[in-house]
Amino acid sequence: MFRYYLDLGLRSLTHNKVLTMLMVLAIAVGIGASMTTLTVLHVLSGDPLPGRSGSLYYPQIDPRDPTGTLSGKEPPTQVTLIDGLNLLRAKRANRQALMRGGAVAVMPSSTGLDPFIVEARYTTADFFPMFDTPFLFGGGWNSVDDEAKARVVVIARKLNDRLFAGANSVGRVLRIGKKDFRIVGVLNDWSPNPHFYDLNTGDYNYAEQAFVPLLTAFDSGFSIDGSNDCWGNGTGGVGTTLPSETCVWLQFWIELDSPQKVADYRNFLVNYSEQQRALGRFERAPNVRLRNVMQWLDYNQVVPDDVRLQTGLAFGFLMVCLVNTVGLLLAKFLRRAGELSVRRALGASRRTVFMQLIVEAGLVGLLGGLLGLGLALFGLWLVRHRPSSYAALAHLDVSMLATTLALAVGASVIAGLLPAWRACQVAPALQLKSQ
Amino acid sequence: MEIRPILSTLRRHKITAWLLIMQIALTCAIVCNAIFLIGLRLHHMHMQSGVAEHEVLQVQVADVANTDNRYVRAAEDLAILRQIPGVQAVGQTNQVPFAGSSSNVNIRLDANQHEPTLRAGSYFGDNITQALGSRLVEGRDFTASEYIDADTAIKALSSGDTRSLPAIAIITRPLADRLWPGQDPLGKTIYLTQSFGARVIGVVQGLARANPYKDETAQYSMVLPLHMGVGKDQSYVIRTHPQQRAEVLKAAVAALKRADPERVVIRQRTLDDIRRDFFQDDIAMAGILVSVCVALLVVNALGIIGLVSFWVAQRRRSIGVRRALGATRAHILHYFQTENFLLATMGIGLGMMLAYGINIYLMLHYELPRLPTMYLPVGAALLWLISQASVLWPALRAADVPPIVATRSA
């Protein structure tokens, strides 16, 4: 029966080409616009580390003095160096890493090549196992290297390709800022989006190319990137001078594998705050937060407002296109009152006529969806050629492709419900008589 | 034209009429808000920088490793840059208007004030106002002897012993007006920490922050007389004649590279480039909004043409009867035009309420201002125009229906 309806539908679509084209076009444009924006939103609000993000937490404590800052009651979004090292060395979580972004000058070993600057991350040993970074060669360093300020480095594949033409460079020497570092590992392509572990250096499409132990980096006078928030007499530091003790400027991440451990860690943070207060370092009542990755991204409102606004706009546009389609379908179906009443008089039930019209509406949706898919691909191509940091990420994946077609067919079937119902109300005899 | 017969006809086509009204209402609501948003973006994009925008160049270089004499090196670099033909002024700064990465300080009017009054952009470096071409309107600029090295200042600040610091600042006119409305800012003190207050010695017309997201606070900036020394985050700024920018920029980079061939040039660009980069998302967003508005109006027009054509086809007989009874072609044309005008008006009325609803939602979620009432008549006029234009073709076809149709069946 379905095939018969399909055949009827196709035939009727070719009957009134202009009207059909208008409907298909309206749906296509609406679907194209909303899928383009929805894909961008989907990519940007995705989970940067699927499967792991639920057990990664970002502890926040409040070391500020009582003279308020404009930011209100939330504790700062970073930690001081003292607190960071204290929490790191306390080892109360399964894993923990203290970090900061920066940039280093890399000197190519072959002469004649200019030195160049790459983005770097100064971090501690657990960074690699905690974030499950994929290694192409070698591995990370250990906590002994951290405390010994060892001159070791992990580089990204991109840098390895540039300097060593992709060969296994583990054990070789990399000259960073006129000092020699031993390469211990090469990371395979890895750039979590959003760049959740440090939102100060760039939200999207940001990938460090060199990873150096935190204390080694400070010891070597490497420059730091990101934000410093200071209070009291604190200053952000200049050149090789690090930010002062009354500045928060480092990110601290931990891994906790059970709800019990999360509760325990929260208590630990409260106790730590009280202990520091007793020592006279903290002046405020304990004010702690412990958010996991997705909660952290949500709290920081990482997805740009413009992207949300565009999505809303596109769906408003789709609504108008659908209302338009409802009107046009109504016109199309009612115009066929004569033909439908003949079918009814020949014994077709209301239900079968209704089904036939719905199949026809779905067919319009399918055509509109396919055309809309093309428009969405074009739209995403346009987005990718925009200069925004997230632009390059805008690609349609299989799930979004399926969503596009489902949305188009679903929307047009819904749009077809009312016109089909109205068309079914045609009384068979009456129409025949007037013929 | 009598509207009662039109209304009674419409009552028999309730669903179609409502669909048309809904479509116009939704369009009206979206277009009003979109035009408003476009206006906001355009206004934002034309934000004043307060500096000589077409004359300024930025060069950012980084040493491969840290030098011990950062301040000497910076002074040497500035001297080298000053030698380049066509250069009018050179300076060094920790930030450049619209460059993104920003330095800000909390400002208090009283050292013991609990909450800071506001957060202002803080410019540190050499000869900033001159090099950026920020016009001094009151007081004076810093003298060479008033500058001190950043390291000395940081040490003094963290020790709390700030007696040796040059406690003077230059602020912008908008910041002065915000802090002391209607008063002379010269000689007044702003507190940056509890132990450090800076006396205002000069006021510049304007100097936008590096990261001015909000139009109202974009010009809240201040300058302190600090030598910053060479460093990855510091920029040299050069002011030159607009026509000479390209060659001066090239010469400046070459001269700096010659002084130390191992150093890396991170950035070299004009302030025009910087502005374009900073507002690129706004330009893109305005473009998207314009295209959505155009697409909406086109979809509307096509919908109206489709529906009215259907009505005309459906009513051919009654149109023929009316023509046979003496209605002129103009009567028929006006009938459809009036009918459409009534529908559009209902749609627009509904759309305006919806427009306010959407605006309230945007105000709550995106901190947008209230939709000014002037956007409503603009949106309404646009929709009336579009709907009248689209009804014309099917209405003309209706007017073409000959009276003879009345005698035919269906």
Contacts of B228 in chain A (CB under 8 A): 238
CA-based nearest distance A259→chain B, Å: 33
- Taking CA A320 as the corner, what is the angle to CA A314 and CA A321, rounded to the nearest 5 degrees? 85
pLDDT value for A102: 93
CB atoms inside a 10 Å sphere around CB A332: 26
- Asked whether the beta carbons of residue B410 and residue A305 sit closer than 8 angstroms, the reply is no
Contacts of B295 in chain A (CB under 8 A): 29, 33, 317
- Asked whether the beta carbons of residue A105 and residue B160 sit closer than 8 angstroms, the reply is no
CB atoms inside a 10 Å sphere around CB B379: 24
- According to DSSP, residue A228 is labeled -
Q: Evaluate whether B223 touches B193 at the Cβ level (below 8 Å).
A: no
Helices (H), B116-270: 128-132, 150-159, 173-179, 245-259
Per-position b or e across A346-369, b if 16+ CB within 10 A of its CB:
eebeeebbbbbbbbbbbbbbbbbb
Residue count of chain A, please give it: 435
User: Considering CB atoms only, which of A178, A320, A418 is closest to B64?
Assistant: A178
Question: Can you say whether residue B19 is alpha, beta or left, with left for phi > 0 and alpha for psi between -120 and 50 degrees?
Answer: alpha
- Asked whether the beta carbons of residue B62 and residue A105 sit closer than 8 angstroms, the reply is yes
CB atoms inside a 10 Å sphere around CB B166: 18
Q: Over its length of 410 residues, how does chain B's per-residue pLDDT go in tens digits?
A: 577 777 777 777 788 888 889 999 999 999 999 999 999 999 999 999 999 999 999 999 988 888 878 999 999 999 999 999 999 999 999 999 999 888 888 899 998 888 889 999 999 999 999 999 999 999 999 999 999 999 888 888 888 788 878 899 999 999 999 999 999 999 999 998 888 899 999 999 999 999 998 888 999 999 999 999 998 889 999 999 999 999 999 999 999 999 988 889 999 999 999 999 999 889 988 988 998 899 899 888 988 888 888 888 888 888 888 888 888 889 889 988 999 999 999 999 999 999 999 999 989 888 788 888 888 888 889 899 999 999 999 999 888 888 888 777 64
Q: Give residue B37's Cα distance to chain centre.
A: 10
- H or E segment at A257? none
Q: Between the CA of residue A361 and those of A329, B37, B89, B97, B303, what are the distances in Å?
A: 8, 35, 70, 55, 17
Could you give the 3-state DSSP secondary structure of residue A369? Answer: helix
Per-position b or e across B175-208, b if 16+ CB within 10 A of its CB:
bbebbeeeeebeebbbbbbbbbbbebbbbbbbbb
Contacts of A70 in chain B (CB under 8 A): 106, 115-116, 119
- According to DSSP, residue B163 is labeled T
Q: Evaluate whether A126 touches A253 at the Cβ level (below 8 Å).
A: no
Q: At what angle do helices A305-335 and A350-384 cross, to 10 degrees?
A: 150
Give the mutation candidate from B66, B265, B273, B358 for the A interface (greatest A CB count, under 10 A): B66
- Asked whether the beta carbons of residue A327 and residue B232 sit closer than 8 angstroms, the reply is no
pLDDT value for A401: 84
For residue A405, the number of C-alpha atoms closer than 13 Å in the C-beta half-sphere is 10
- Write phi, then psi, for B70 (nearest 5 degrees): -60, -40
Rounded Cα distance, B162 and B139, in Å: 24
Predicted complex ipTM exceeds 0.85: no
CA-based nearest distance A27→chain B, Å: 10
Rounded Cα distance, A278 and A251, in Å: 24
User: Would you list the DSSP string of A387-434?
Assistant: -STTGGG----HHHHHHHHHHHHHHHHHHHHHHHHHHHT--HHHHHHH
- H or E segment at B188? none
Tell me which residue of B102, B142, B107, B140 sits closest to B126, measured CA to CA: B142
Contacts of A117 in chain B (CB under 8 A): 62, 232, 264, 266
> Per the structure block, which two tokens stand in for A143?
């906590």
Q: At what angle do helices A81-90 and A259-278 cross, to 10 degrees?
A: 130
Could you give the 3-state DSSP secondary structure of residue B352? Answer: helix
Rounded Cα distance, A104 and A121, in Å: 9
pLDDT, tens digit (0-9, with 9 covering 90-100), for A330-339: 888 877 777 7
Rounded Cα distance, A65 and A207, in Å: 35
- According to DSSP, residue A165 is labeled T
pLDDT, tens digit (0-9, with 9 covering 90-100), for B231-271: 888 999 999 999 999 999 999 999 999 998 888 999 999 99
- Asked whether the beta carbons of residue B299 and residue A321 sit closer than 8 angstroms, the reply is yes
Q: Over its length of 435 residues, how does chain A's per-residue pLDDT go in tens digits?
A: 778 877 877 777 777 787 888 888 888 988 898 888 888 888 888 899 998 999 999 999 999 887 755 456 889 999 999 999 999 999 999 999 999 999 999 988 766 678 899 999 999 999 999 999 999 999 999 999 999 999 999 999 999 999 999 999 999 999 998 899 999 999 999 989 899 999 988 888 889 999 999 999 999 999 899 888 888 888 888 877 889 888 999 999 999 999 999 999 999 999 999 999 999 999 888 999 999 999 999 999 898 888 888 888 888 998 898 888 888 888 888 777 777 888 888 888 888 888 888 888 888 889 999 999 999 999 999 888 887 778 888 888 888 888 888 888 888 888 888 888 888 887 776 555 554
Rounded Cα distance, A381 and A392, in Å: 9
pLDDT, tens digit (0-9, with 9 covering 90-100), for A271-287: 999 999 999 999 888 99
Q: Between the CA of residue B108 and those of A146, A217, A386, B179, B195, what are the distances in Å?
A: 41, 35, 41, 9, 11
Give the mutation candidate from A238, A317, A434 for the B interface (greatest B CB count, under 10 A): A238
Torsion from C-alpha of A48, A49, A50, A54, nearest 10 degrees: -110
Helices (H), B216-279: 245-259, 271-278
A–B interface: beta-carbon pairs under 8 A = 173
- Asked whether the beta carbons of residue B30 and residue A320 sit closer than 8 angstroms, the reply is yes
Rounded Cα distance, B279 and B82, in Å: 31
> Per the structure block, which two tokens stand in for B263?
């150093």
pLDDT value for A388: 79
pTM of the model: 0.85
Single-letter residue type at B177: D
- Taking CA A417 as the corner, what is the angle to CA A412 and CA A420, rounded to the nearest 5 degrees? 110
pLDDT value for A435: 45
CA-based nearest distance B137→chain A, Å: 30
Helices (H), B46-201: 70-82, 128-132, 150-159, 173-179
- Asked whether the beta carbons of residue A177 and residue B409 sit closer than 8 angstroms, the reply is no
- According to DSSP, residue B309 is labeled H
Contacts of A434 in chain B (CB under 8 A): 409-410
CA-based nearest distance B194→chain A, Å: 7
Residue count of chain B, please give it: 410
CA-based nearest distance B55→chain A, Å: 25
CA-based nearest distance A346→chain B, Å: 22
Tell me which residue of A95, A86, A65, A138 sits closest to A287, measured CA to CA: A65
pLDDT value for A70: 47
- According to DSSP, residue A74 is labeled S
